[in-house]
Chain A
Amino acid sequence: MTFDLRRAYRLNPAATLRPEPFGALAYHFGNRRLSFLKSRQLVSVVRALESHDSAARALEAADVPSRQWGRYAAALAALAESEVIHER
């Protein structure tokens, strides 16, 4: 699944994030899927999505180095696939 960093996303209202020592657990109350957010910086990115007009801006806001954007795009794609985040 490709993930378009130029688009705006947000945390799905049907999903919740629970802080964990490694990052966070995400649970979707509709499809009942559990996802792991394996770094605190990824959690910051997901929380920042709502207040930025693109995922790229959220990555910048969370101080993610540009060389890591590809990896983060893959992680965000997986979260979109699980409906933890969606376009707005």
Chain B
Amino acid sequence: MSAEATSLTEQFKGGLAAPICLTWELTYACNLQCVHCLSASGRRDPRELSTAECMGVVDELERMQVFYANIGGGEPTLRPDFWDLLDYSVAHHVGIKFSTNGVRLDKRASPWRGRRWTTWLRPASANSRSPWW
């Protein structure tokens, strides 16, 4: 083990077989207008991926064995297919962490609370104005 272990630093120079995780801005649509928004979100980008295209991305992540994706936006729960995409990702061995403002978390979200494979991040939105999207 030691001979190979000592060369680990050298081997890292070639990079890993795939990313450990990646950030995925699923939508730029948002129901808030936070003044501190880093992605200038608000309006949905008309070019955003369809459900089938998103599932294709998940398929590719599964093939690459990417361990998880950090989903942000925009407010990802505004996509009508968001929870289905979450189901699809987990079923295909891609863990999900997602950032949400929490406004739209409802009964559909509750089964996911505290489950393996998913983590929710709920950033403070003290400077948010009223929804307009």
| CB nearest to B15 among chain A residues | A21
Chain A residues within 8 Å of B11, by CB: 21-22
Using A16-B93, A21-B14, A29-B95 as known contacts, say yes or no to A39 and B4 having CB atoms under 8 A apart. Answer: yes
Using A16-B67, A21-B11 as known contacts, say yes or no to A29 and B116 having CB atoms under 8 A apart. Answer: yes
How many angstroms from the CA of A81 to the CA of B2 in the assembled complex? 21
Report yes or no: B16 in contact with A25, Cβ–Cβ below 8 A.
Answer: yes
Identify which of B5, B12, B18, B116 contacts A14 (C-beta below 8 A): B116
Which residues 6-27 in B have Cβ within 8 Å of A in the complex?
7-8, 11-12, 14, 16-18, 20
Chain A binding surface SS class: mixed
Using A18-B17, A22-B11 as known contacts, say yes or no to A38 and B4 having CB atoms under 8 A apart. Answer: yes
Chain A residues within 8 Å of B4, by CB: 22-23, 38-41
Q: How many residues of A contact B (CB 8 A)?
A: 24
Report yes or no: B17 in contact with A20, Cβ–Cβ below 8 A.
Answer: yes
Q: How many residues of B contact A (CB 8 A)?
A: 21
Report yes or no: B8 in contact with A38, Cβ–Cβ below 8 A.
Answer: yes
B117 proximal to A (CB < 8 A): yes
**What are 7 A-to-B residue pairs whose CB atoms are below 8 Å?**
A20-B16, A20-B17, A22-B12, A27-B20, A27-B68, A38-B8, A71-B1
Footprint of A on B, CB under 8 Å?
A: 1-2, 4-5, 7-8, 11-12, 14, 16-18, 20, 65, 67-68, 93, 95, 116-117, 119
Footprint of B on A, CB under 8 Å?
A: 14, 16, 18-23, 25, 27, 29-30, 32, 34, 36, 38-42, 68, 71-72, 75
